[in-house]
Amino acid sequence: MSEQAVLFASSAFYAAFAGRDLAAMDRIWAKDKPVSCTHPGWQPLRGRAEVMASWRSILTNAGAPRIRSRAEHATLYGDLAVVTCIEELAGERGQKEFLTATNVFVRAGSLWVMVHHQAGPVNIDPRAIDEEDDGAPPSMN
């Protein structure tokens, strides 16, 4: 059940990202733990204020590509979990780009909250992703 809960938290992160929902993104990130983030091509960001400012900039940018997470895999280490996945980005002209991402969550009571996100370029055959997942979000059931 914990693995499903972590994958649900990861799906909530990507739903907030895709929906450009800054309030939801704010709820996903830990408030009482150190956080960090490295966006593709950016320097590492440290601290909640800096990380959330970056998300505000990204989520309010009308030209930001559409995103969805594919082939998510969660590994739990007690109260810490690492989710690896492929991010599929679709630009305005329909071109697709793929990134590899690592998302780190910690348990906060009954919830999993994000403490780190990092994404970067990857060379992958999209057919390999289709073999790994069907694109359906994880269920809590």
pLDDT digits (tens, 9 = 90+) for 75-106: 999 999 999 999 999 877 778 899 999 999 99
Which domains does the chain carry? 2-132 (3.10.450.50)
pLDDT of the residue at 10: 98
Question: What single DSSP character describes residue 65?
Answer: P
Q: What does the pLDDT average to over 28-33?
A: 97
Q: Give 132's pLDDT tier (boundaries 50, 70, 90).
A: low
Residue type for position 5: A
Instruction: With H, G, I as helix, E, B as strand and everything else as coil, classify residue 30.
Output: coil
Report whether 10 contacts 74 (CB < 8 A): yes
Residues of the chain with pLDDT > 90, as a percent, come to 76
Q: What is the mean pLDDT of the chain?
A: 90
pLDDT of the residue at 93: 76
CA–CA separation, 84 vs 89, rounded Å?
16
Tokens of 53: 């400012």
